[in-house]
Amino acid sequence: IMVKGSKPQVSQMNIREFLVIGRRLPSEENPNPKVYKLRIFAKDQVIAKSHFWYNMKKYHRVRKVDGEVMAIHELFEKNPTFVKNFGMIIKYQSRSGYHNMYKEYRDTTLCGAVSQMYMEMSGRHRARHDTIHICKTTEVKDKDVIRPAVKVYSAKGIQYPLVMRKHRSPIKKYKKIISYKRPNISLAQQIRQNPYDHYNAYQQQKHQQKK
């Protein structure tokens, strides 16, 4: 049941990749401060800026009041229509401490792979999203894949059955609840088969009875 104003839940998060560029405010002692840029995965620019200042304060001792964001750009995938293997090194905080981890995912975009990572970490390790830090991401070739869950899809000559929806007869007389044989869901069978064959035969039989 959906409440008015609510959105349907999806299996992945809407993750976007941003490149945030910032520095410390210029002063008399340092008129040309060092410029830092950071790739961040977040839902929007507001969260991306928040993550940027979190890392600036933790690693470079630059607070938000003492710095400025010079530019923020959204990065997009170069070839979003091809499936690729992505590997990422992450660090997350659990109830017992900090842990390093290497993950591999198969997706068309890097943002999609990061979204899978967030969902998996939430389900398997109960890790909150704000405690997960992505240290490095890279595109992995099929021969260099390590994880078995991704390696099974990278084998050469791999084939899977073509799953298609089986058309059911619109006439109750020809519907089957239990069948004695497995349905044929091959593409050639679906092309040759007309979902309204039983209906057309029923209409022809009815027309002949009237004559």
| pLDDT confidence of residue 166 | 64
| pLDDT confidence of residue 187 | 53
Report how far apart, in Å, the C-alpha atoms of 205 and of each of 173, 185, 201 are. 13, 28, 6
What is the enclosing helix (H) or strand (E) of 114?
helix 110-124
Task: Please state, in angstroms and rounded to a whole number, the distance separating the CA atoms of residues 142 and 158.
Answer: 13
Q: Kindly report the pTM of this predicted structure.
A: 0.69
Task: Please state, in angstroms and rounded to a whole number, the distance separating the CA atoms of residues 52 and 70.
Answer: 12
| pLDDT confidence of residue 3 | 46
| pLDDT confidence of residue 22 | 96
Rg (CA), the chain: 27
| pLDDT confidence of residue 159 | 77
The mean pLDDT values, 10 residues at a time, for the chain of 211 residues are 48 86 94 95 94 94 94 94 94 93 95 95 91 94 92 81 67 77 59 54 72 64
Sheet order of strands, 98-107 included: 98-107, 84-93, 132-140
Q: Please name which of 134, 44, 40 lies closest in space to residue 87, comparing C-alpha atoms.
A: 134
For residue 5, the Cα-to-chain-centroid distance in whole angstroms is 24
| pLDDT confidence of residue 180 | 75
Exposed, middle or buried by CB within 10 Å (0-12, 13-18, 19+), for 190? middle
